């Protein structure tokens, strides 16, 4: 039987765990042969220097990013690791700019839907202690339990106390460590108040799921039992859909919460001993993350900054056989040109990461290897910079479209470099020369 840590790797982030479960992570192949074109002069000419990665202060240097955003409804902003201080503060800074200059009102994190609801209650109403909520909701993963996100959430709360138009926080992922938990209580509370005749049927569908302590306990069940729980969650969702209540908005939220329970149970019910199922699981997770973002946008009307790993916000995956379609591609299907994506890369420095034994530690890496994307990008400007890759000439665009070795680690280390096509993956890029490790809440 797998340890609790290895079961956690199977789910969140699901991509790292599923890859590890079947042992498919392999070193990146050699970089593609040089094209003969040197892209650095044009990249240097079109790069826009960034004043700072800190959230405070003047935001005027982000105007070029604002031009790329245009009238987009959702902006995906990636990150090459889940543990760098400057990545997180840069996202805070970009969100501030988008709120103040582009009318954005929602920050969406690659985190559980139910965790997002709890933090949003604090952001909107001051309900609860955000530090305690973060520890309870993110503690088993630990990558989001950092001072940088506490600072962002604190800024959002402060903003809401001084503005009529409110900002909101959402989690767009399946739930972890909870599967049903809080969401079952929210749904049954809604049904009890607005559709009491439906309550016995809803209770019956969620009864077995409510006895499962958390995702680790769910994963320890035989696959047939997990599938049965998925079926019951689907029945509960169908009941809610077919019986709209008197309040259309509240009914919409109840249905979405039931959908999140079904998503979470389904994500935990793929057979990770089967490589084909692993690929389907990876695709499924990215699809539901995109579905949740689109639902939020359509239901609330909000413009959204989506924060996730580079691989999730991209248009194309780095491994199409294993990872057939990613969140960014699903969002482009839904939103067309109203989805814009920005990669976030770095040269060297430190970041927090989880080793193969589940321990979090600070990792330090030196200058990138010659010939990869990071090494070429490091030559463009002595300062950190922003780059609109859509404006490049045909030769440079061809160079950007070719896959090359790229540092893109997520939350685990050591990790192999990925073969990433910058031009095909993102509309624009933020490059930081050096990072430091994120600061833990403890």
DSSP labels, 330-384: HHHHHHGGGEEEEEEEEEEEEEEEE-TTS-EEEEEE-SPPTTSHHHHHTTS-SS-
Question: What count of residues does the chain have?
Answer: 442
Distances (CA, A) of 112 to 180, 339, 374: 11, 22, 31
- Give dist(CA 372, CA 421) in Å, integer: 11
In 17-125 the beta strands, taken as DSSP E runs, fall at 48-49, 74-77, 106-112
Q: In this predicted structure, what is the pLDDT of residue 22?
A: 40
- Give dist(CA 93, CA 176) in Å, integer: 27
- For the stretch 358-388, pLDDT in tens is 899 999 999 999 999 999 999 999 999 999 9
Q: In this predicted structure, what is the pLDDT of residue 287?
A: 98
Judged against a pLDDT cut of 60, whether residue 27 lies above it is answered with: no
Helix (H, G, I), strand (E, B) or coil at 109: strand
Judged against a pLDDT cut of 50, whether residue 18 lies above it is answered with: no
Judged against a pLDDT cut of 70, whether residue 7 lies above it is answered with: no
- Give dist(CA 326, CA 422) in Å, integer: 15
Q: In this predicted structure, what is the pLDDT of residue 372?
A: 97
Longest dimension (CA), the chain: 72
Cβ–Cβ contacts within 10 Å for residue 442, how many? 8
What is the DSSP pairing of strand 304-307 with strand 428-435?
unpaired
Q: In this predicted structure, what is the pLDDT of residue 23?
A: 41
Q: Which of 1-5, 173-177, 289-293 has the lowest mean pLDDT?
A: 1-5
Quick one: pLDDT band at residue 131, thresholds 50, 70, 90?
A: very high
Instruction: Write down the residue that tokens 């950007």 correspond to.
Output: 400
Q: In this predicted structure, what is the pLDDT of residue 13?
A: 41
Q: What b/e sequence results for 105-134 when a residue is b if at least 16 CB atoms lie within 10 Å of its CB, and e otherwise?
A: bbbbbbbbbbbbbbbbebbeeeeeebeebb
Peptide bond into 177 cis (omega under 30): yes
Dihedral pair phi/psi, residue 382, rounded to 5°: -70, -15
Q: In this predicted structure, what is the pLDDT of residue 236?
A: 98
The torsion region of residue 413 among left (phi > 0), alpha (psi -120 to 50) and beta comes to beta
Q: In this predicted structure, what is the pLDDT of residue 21?
A: 43
* Model-wide pTM > 0.85: yes
- For the stretch 179-199, pLDDT in tens is 988 999 999 999 999 999 999
Q: In this predicted structure, what is the pLDDT of residue 232?
A: 98
- Give dist(CA 226, CA 1) in Å, integer: 16
Euclidean distance between the first and final Cα of the chain, in Å?
A: 32
Judged against a pLDDT cut of 70, whether residue 90 lies above it is answered with: yes
Q: In this predicted structure, what is the pLDDT of residue 29?
A: 53
Q: In this predicted structure, what is the pLDDT of residue 139?
A: 76
Judged against a pLDDT cut of 90, whether residue 49 lies above it is answered with: yes
Q: In this predicted structure, what is the pLDDT of residue 1?
A: 31
Decide if 104 contacts 305 (C-beta within 8 A): yes
Judged against a pLDDT cut of 90, whether residue 345 lies above it is answered with: yes
Residue 92, class by beta-carbon neighbours within 10 Å (0-12 exposed, 13-18 middle, 19+ buried)? buried
Helix (H, G, I), strand (E, B) or coil at 5: helix
Judged against a pLDDT cut of 90, whether residue 25 lies above it is answered with: no
- For the stretch 248-280, pLDDT in tens is 999 999 999 999 999 999 999 999 889 999 999
Q: In this predicted structure, what is the pLDDT of residue 34?
A: 52
Residue 434, class by beta-carbon neighbours within 10 Å (0-12 exposed, 13-18 middle, 19+ buried)? middle
pLDDT mean across residues, the chain: 92
Dihedral pair phi/psi, residue 213, rounded to 5°: -60, -50
Q: In this predicted structure, what is the pLDDT of residue 35?
A: 59
Cα pseudo-dihedral 424, 285, 69, 404, rounded to 10: -30
- Give dist(CA 262, CA 295) in Å, integer: 15
Q: In this predicted structure, what is the pLDDT of residue 2?
A: 34
- Give dist(CA 380, CA 358) in Å, integer: 36
Work out the percent of the chain whose per-residue pLDDT is above 90.
86
Judged against a pLDDT cut of 80, whether residue 157 lies above it is answered with: yes
């Amino acid at each position: 039987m797998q340890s609790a840590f290895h079961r956690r790797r199977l789910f969140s982030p699901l991509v790292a765990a599923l890859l590890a479960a079947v042992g498919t992570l392999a070193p990146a192949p050699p970089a593609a042969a040089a094209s003969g074109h040197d892209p650095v002069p044009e990249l240097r000419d079109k790069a826009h220097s960034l004043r700072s990665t800190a959230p405070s202060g003047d935001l005027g240097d982000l105007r070029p990013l604002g031009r790329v955003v245009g009238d987009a409804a959702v902006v995906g902003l990636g990150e090459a690791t889940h543990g760098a201080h400057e990545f997180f503060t840069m996202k805070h800074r970009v969100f501030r700019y988008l709120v103040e200059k582009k009318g954005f009102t929602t920050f969406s994190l690659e985190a559980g839907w139910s965790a997002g609801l709890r933090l949003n209650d604090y952001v909107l109403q001051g309900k609860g202690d955000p530090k305690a909520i973060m520890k309870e909701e993110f503690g088993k993963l630990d990558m989001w339990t950092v001072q940088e996100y506490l600072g962002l959430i604190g800024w959002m709360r402060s903003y809401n106390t001084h503005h009529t138009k409110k900002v909101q926080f959402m989690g767009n992922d399946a739930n972890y460590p909870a599967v049903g938990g809080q969401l079952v209580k929210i749904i049954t509370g809604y049904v009890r108040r607005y559709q009491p005749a439906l309550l016995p049927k809803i209770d019956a569908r969620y009864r077995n799921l409510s006895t499962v302590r958390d995702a680790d306990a769910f994963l320890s069940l035989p696959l047939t039992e997990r599938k049965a729980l998925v079926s019951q969650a689907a029945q509960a969702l169908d009941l809610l859909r077919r019986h709209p209540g008197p309040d259309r908005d509240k009914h919409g939220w109840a249905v979405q919460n039931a959908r999140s329970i079904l998503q979470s149970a389904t994500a935990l019910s793929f057979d990770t001993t089967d490589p084909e199922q692993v690929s389907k699981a990876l695709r499924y997770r990215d699809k539901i993350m995109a579905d949740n973002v689109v639902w939020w946008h359509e239901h609330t009307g909000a413009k959204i900054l989506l924060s996730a790993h580079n691989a999730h916000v991209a248009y194309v995956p780095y491994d199409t056989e294993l990872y057939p379609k990613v969140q960014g591609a699903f969002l482009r299907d839904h939103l067309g040109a109203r989805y814009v994506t920005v990669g976030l890369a770095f040269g060297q420095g430190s970041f927090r990461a989880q080793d193969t034994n589940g321990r979090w530690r600070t990792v330090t890496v030196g200058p990138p290897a010659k010939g990869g994307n990071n090494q070429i990008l490091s030559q463009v400007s002595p300062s950190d910079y922003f780059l609109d890759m859509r404006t490049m000439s045909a030769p440079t665009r061809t160079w950007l479209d070719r896959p090359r070795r790229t540092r893109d680690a997520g939350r685990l280390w050591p990790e192999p470099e990925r073969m990433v096509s910058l031009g095909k993956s993102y509309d624009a890029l933020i490059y930081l020369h050096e990072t430091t490790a994120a600061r833990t809440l403890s």
